[in-house]
Amino acid sequence: MQEELNQFERSEVWELVPRPQNQSVIGTRWVFRNKTDENGIIFRNKARLVAQGFNQEEWIDYEETFAPVARLEAIRMLLAFACFKDFVLYQMDVKSAFLNGFINEKVYVEQPPSFKSFNFPNHVFKLKKALYGLKQAPRAWYERLSKFLLKKGFKMGKIDTTLFIKTKENDMLLVQI
């Protein structure tokens, strides 16, 4: 749990502020998972702090939630194309991906259970970035990543907006989100 909160600090996800009077405050809770190896032996306990986004109200706490996701057919086509062209494929997981998406709305969340500030127990966190569980978190992450790729010279697919392509002379880099 402390590792998760340290990641929030490094990513500057939030700031501790006095509780607002006329603004809803979303609760938080811990979700725990055991990571296992290929033999089913637990090698890591993982804790993730999530917002209770089911309490969010449309047009108050968020506006847009839609984020494109690669369809299975698109992934199959990418794999077939990669095999045909004899491409090397890499798959990566972005650790704490949603914590990298900026949010536009004013969203306040309760301090994490068991980790309330000793000096400011009645304060809440004002979010600067998305938090797992928020309705707008997937969209915020997609927007930040796609803007970065476009700025780096990638072209977004016209039909599949989760596919980004960058070419340079005879080289091609494909990124499927």
pLDDT grade, residue 55 (50/70/90)? low
Sign of the CA dihedral running 163, 168, 172, 177: negative
pLDDT attached to residue 74: 92
Of 166, 113, 84, the closest CA to residue 4 belongs to 113
At position 12, the amino acid (one-letter code) is E
* Mean pLDDT lowest among 71-75, 77-81, 139-143: 139-143
pTM (2 d.p.): 0.72
Q: CA 117 to CA 7: how far, in whole Å?
A: 17
Mean pLDDT of 6-11: 89
Mean pLDDT of 43-60: 75
Contact 109, 6 (CB under 8 A): no
User: Tokens 């993730």 — which residue?
Assistant: 48
